[in-house]
Amino acid sequence: MKGSQPILVIGTVAFDSIKTPLAEANEVLGGSATFFAMAARLFTPVQLVAIVGKDFPSHHLKMFEENGIDLQGLVRAEGSTFRWKGEYEENMNVRRTLETHLNVLEQFDAKLPPQYQSAPYVFLANINPDLQLRVLEQLEHPKLICCDTMNLWIIHQLPDLEKVLKRIDIFIISEEEAQMLTNEHNIVRAAREILKLGKFSLIIKRGGYGAILFTQSNQVFAIPAYPLENVVDPTGAGDSFAGGFMGYLASRDSVDLETVQRAMIYGNIVASFSVEGFSVERLSSLTREIVRNRLSDFLMMTHLVPAAVHVE
């Protein structure tokens, strides 16, 4: 990994309770920063900024550390770890939140350890945009800042989110969030509206249908999803996509368009593993070798055969 750079991520570390039409899991490790870190660590070292409660078990900490995830920015506070409970419809692209207990998240100040302030690659995972802003203010000279968000912040904290968007390089959100943010169902028009909110490139995640990139200079890059036979739990798919995406970028230490396109493919593949199990089950057993093999399959399934480029 010549030139590989570490990634700083701020986000949530949580216990998730999830029900899908086929199975359920209770109090399993989740959170936006967890999925991101466990995906990105395949490509480069990760610095994790998050908060957990005293109830957070040491074997999870050990797992993070064994996977090259630096925990100097992980605060262990009095109280309970953030908990989320949700349910998926048969169409796994649709989910409902049943319960949210912020717990220690309410006292989180997102203070970076001094040695993190020079981080070149930064991912603002889904968390209160107020905390994302605080991280931005502590950074010295970042090379690339990517950001995710969720419906809750679009509805209740849009002004803060808009401040964040003015200062980032790549915004990664779901199709539903893009529609909600713009009140526009058409994805091309929604993208155009969102691009006006800053100078960033935009990646819209389309669940089981792939992802699409829109840049400020009107470049578009669309990829289908890897067709999966067993979707166990979509929770964390977007964070895993972002982890694979940014992990690849940081490992190449490059942000040109070609690298961004390839990074999207890596993100796509890493996310496809993530949803094949609950929590980080699949991500934690993943190796670059396994990712490479599925990536080869994916390229076979999508690559426009060279002859197709000759337009008749």
Question: With binding defined as CB under 8 A, does residue 301 bind a second copy?
Answer: yes
Residues 6+ apart with CB under 8 A from 64: 37, 48, 71, 74
User: What CA–CA distance (Å, rounded) separates 10 from 111?
Assistant: 10
Query: Which CA distances in Å does 25 have to 45, 172, 206?
Result: 29, 27, 24
User: What CA–CA distance (Å, rounded) separates 93 from 99?
Assistant: 19
Stretch that binds a second copy, among 69-77, 109-117, 222-230, 232-240 (CB under 8 A): 222-230
Cβ proximity to a second copy: between 83 and 95 the closer is 95
Give the residue, chosen from 138, 151, 254, 302, that forms a contact with a second copy under the rule CB under 8 A: 302
| CA contacts within 13 A on the Cβ side of 137 | 10
Question: With binding defined as CB under 8 A, does residue 94 bind a second copy?
Answer: no
DSSP string, 233-253: --TTHHHHHHHHHHHHHHHHT
Through-space distance between the first and last CA atoms of the chain, rounded to whole angstroms: 41
Residue 299 in tokens: 């390229």
Question: With binding defined as CB under 8 A, does residue 222 bind a second copy?
Answer: yes
Shortest distance (Å) from residue 209 CB to a second copy: 4
Question: With binding defined as CB under 8 A, does residue 262 bind a second copy?
Answer: yes
Cβ proximity to a second copy: between 138 and 302 the closer is 302
Cβ proximity to a second copy: between 27 and 276 the closer is 276
Shortest distance (Å) from residue 99 CB to a second copy: 26
Chain-centroid distance of CA 78 in Å reads 27
Shortest distance (Å) from residue 47 CB to a second copy: 23
Shortest distance (Å) from residue 214 CB to a second copy: 8
Query: Which is it for strands 170-174 and 211-214: parallel, antiparallel or unpaired?
Result: unpaired
Residues in the chain, how many?
312
Shortest distance (Å) from residue 208 CB to a second copy: 8
Where does residue 117 rank: exposed (0-12), middle (13-18), buried (19+ CB within 10 A)? middle
Question: With binding defined as CB under 8 A, does residue 254 bind a second copy?
Answer: no
Give the residue, chosen from 87, 224, 281, 290, that forms a contact with a second copy under the rule CB under 8 A: 224
C-alpha torsion angle, residues 280, 49, 81, 33 (rounded to 10): -30
* Interacting positions 154-213 with a second copy (CB under 8 A): 185-189, 206, 208-210, 212
Question: With binding defined as CB under 8 A, does residue 309 bind a second copy?
Answer: yes
Give the residue, chosen from 144, 249, 265, 271, that forms a contact with a second copy under the rule CB under 8 A: 265
User: What CA–CA distance (Å, rounded) separates 86 from 11?
Assistant: 18
Question: With binding defined as CB under 8 A, does residue 96 bind a second copy?
Answer: no
Question: With binding defined as CB under 8 A, does residue 290 bind a second copy?
Answer: no
Cβ proximity to a second copy: between 11 and 247 the closer is 247
Residues of the shown chain interacting with a second copy in the complex, contacts defined by CB under 8 A: 90-92, 185-189, 206, 208-210, 212, 220-225, 227-231, 258, 261-262, 265, 292, 295-296, 299, 301-305, 307-309, 311-312
